Chains A and B, each alone.
Chain A
Amino acid sequence: MNKVRILGIGSPSGDDQAGWLVADALSAMGVDACIDRLDRPGANLIPLLEDTAWAILIDAMQSGSPIGDIRRFGTETWPAYSQGLSSHGLGVIDALSLARELGSLPSRIDLYGIEIGPVAPGTTAGDDIQAAARQLARHIAADLAASR
């Protein structure tokens, strides 16, 4: 099993497209991986991680950092970001934590966050976000190339 899965998580609202933009950029580069754009996957994220050796997830974040900042989260820092479980708001961290308990996590998992500003429906992502998405896509592509 050596499948690489890239999951860009977002929505059509402004900067929240950050994860999708990275997924689109990686698709355009033709990287050899299974690439999906997801919108609030909730618990459905768990089956997507099955039969996957390396999962790369990109989501938007609001942490107070400058807009466009990129951070990579290690598994040891997940719980700090958990907001609990709910039917309508099962977050990415919750789903990943549940997958970990169930032993369903891929052997390698990279979780990236791109800092975004206020989000408004119907708007396009800001220039800072577009630039950050391109930068992160190049970084991920290089990472993939180095591992092959």
Chain B
Amino acid sequence: MSEQKRTVSIHVPVLARVEGEGALDLRIDDGAITQLRLRIFEPPRFFEKFLEGRHYTEIPDMVARICGICPVAYQVTAAQALEQLFGVELDPWARAMRRVFYCGEWIQSHSLHIHLLAAPDFFDCSSAIELAKIAPDEVRRGLRIQALGNELMELFGARSVHPVGVRIGGFHGAPPLARIREIREKLRAALPEAEALIRWAASIHVSQDDQAFVSVAMRHPVDYAIERGLIGVSDGLRIEADAFDAHFAEQHQAHSTALFSSYHGEPYLVGPLARLNLNHDRLPEQVKALLAETGLVLPSRNLFHSLVARAVEILLALHEALCLLDAYRVPDSPWVPVSPRAGIATGCTEAPRGLLWHRYEMDDDGRVVNARIVPPTSQNQARIEEDLRLSLLNFGLDRPDDALRLHCEKVIRNYDPCISCATHFLRMNVERG
């Protein structure tokens, strides 16, 4: 082991892309991390202000604009929060199709992340283009699965980017049976592909890492929670969405304009691995069997298992969508009438990246007085910092600067944050003491 100690300062000045701006500052003095700060500036904060004064009928389309990858999560969370406040009882058809719609988003978002973002890291490739040279069949398969997820979103949302299908009370329209038959065939054909994806994902060598962390995910008595359930914590807490503020806090940190979330004062994890850790007993039997075959032990304390967790959730989403569409019928009306009322609406769902929580104060006319949206990326922010610190120590601080930077990127990307696009453009200044 080298006795030489060095000072390294890695500064990633600006990560500016569509969904957020972020930066990473890392300083190592005499073999110890003396500064590690992930700074993210989350644009969803602006949306909260935009929403004020808006009529409830406008909310689903407006919040869909928050994210180009997970618009369904924002739409469904907002719609369900408001429906609960307004005392709306959805038709069972609409309730089931909301879950199918959401499955489409999980399928496309997870496949995108696995193949275009995460997997290249594990094959020492700088991009999916490089990965395609050594694993073309896997990348092709990933793109096919992603396209199927998009198709499912288009079916109910008219388009996959910023869909417009959801309204308070249900959907604007119902797809005809012929289109459902078509997509059912495609979903069925994708099952073996998703199974092969899990086997492939589980075969990818990942760094051994063992970290203690709190997992937070929704929990449902029967289903693998996606769009309904209580908020669950790995310490056993189970709460309704409206009790979020009693246990979770958001606060500003001096180095960031973004809010950091904590659970009883500690960082916590949301997202696919947190969900799988808490809900693996809710997976369909076929998925459970395949998961057992991979040898993955749950709950996992290695964040690099997030990749295989996403693969598992793709298969789950395919199963769920197929199962719910098997009983498809065209409803008399895809929506039920709604009468607004004043009050506080809270709700949450599981966005692809993790728990998404909304709160709206509404007036008598059904207009937003104020809104609060807590997205998964800001909830994971403190956990990412903690992970970077622990995994860098595990990785070895004496590694070359480029290796440290790449490892930081890999750790950050693993969370699939909305700044993942920007983390591909990390530029760093290195100062040596």
Contact = CB atoms under 8 A, between A and B. Distances in A.
B421 A86 contact: yes
Interface of A is mostly: loop
Contacts of B424: 84-86
A88 B133 contact: no
A44 B116 CA distance: 12
Interface string A88-107: 11100010011001111000
B40 to A, nearest CB: 14
Contacts of A102: 132, 136, 139-140, 143
Contacts of B117: 85-87
A67 to B, nearest CB: 25
Contacts of B323: none
A126 B422 CA distance: 31
Contact of A87 (B113, B126, B132): B113
B127 interface: yes
A87 B420 contact: yes
Interface string A60-93: 0000000000000000000000011111111000
A101 B416 contact: no
A101 B150 contact: no
Contact of A98 (B19, B132, B416, B421): B132
Interface string B86-112: 000000000000000000000000001
B143 A43 contact: yes
A86 B422 contact: yes
B290 interface: no
Given A87-B420, A102-B136, A94 B129 contact: yes
A101 B132 contact: yes
B420 A86 contact: yes
Interface of B is mostly: helix
Contacts of B18: 88-89
Contacts of B126: 84
Contacts of A84: 126-127, 424-425
A110 interface: no
Interface in B115-151: 116-117, 120, 126-129, 132-133, 136, 139-140, 143-144, 146-147, 150
Interface residues of A, number: 21
Contacts of A53: none
A50 to B, nearest CB: 10
B17 interface: yes
Interface residues of B, number: 33
B13 interface: no
Contact of B17 (A85, A86, A103, A104): A86
A90 B160 CA distance: 15
Contacts of B133: 101
A56 interface: no
A40 interface: yes
Interface string A25-69: 000000000000001100110110000000000000000000000
Nearest to B111: A43
Contact of B161 (A39, A47, A83, A85): A39
Nearest to B150: A44
A103 B136 contact: yes
A44 B142 CA distance: 12
A1 to B, nearest CB: 19
Interface string B271-310: 0000000000000000000000000000000000000000
Contacts of B144: 47
Contacts of B422: 86
A83 B425 CA distance: 9
Contacts of B412: none
Nearest to B115: A43
B69 interface: yes
A47 B147 contact: yes
B79 interface: no
Nearest to B159: A39
A101 B136 contact: yes
B205 to A, nearest CB: 22
Nearest to B134: A101
29 contacts: A39-B161, A40-B68, A44-B150, A44-B160, A47-B147, A83-B425, A84-B126, A84-B127, A84-B424, A84-B425, A85-B117, A85-B128, A86-B424, A87-B116, A87-B416, A87-B420, A88-B18, A88-B19, A88-B68, A88-B418, A88-B420, A89-B421, A90-B116, A97-B129, A98-B128, A102-B132, A102-B136, A102-B139, A104-B140
A-B pairs, 4 with minimum CB distance: A86-B421, A101-B132, A88-B421, A85-B127
Interface of B: 17-19, 68-69, 112-113, 116-117, 120, 126-129, 132-133, 136, 139-140, 143-144, 146-147, 150, 160-161, 416, 418, 420-422, 424-425
Given A84-B127, A85-B128, A87-B113, 13 more contacts: A44-B147, A44-B150, A46-B143, A47-B143, A85-B117, A86-B424, A87-B116, A87-B117, A87-B420, A89-B18, A90-B116, A102-B132, A104-B140
Interface of A: 39-40, 43-44, 46-47, 83-90, 94, 97-98, 101-104
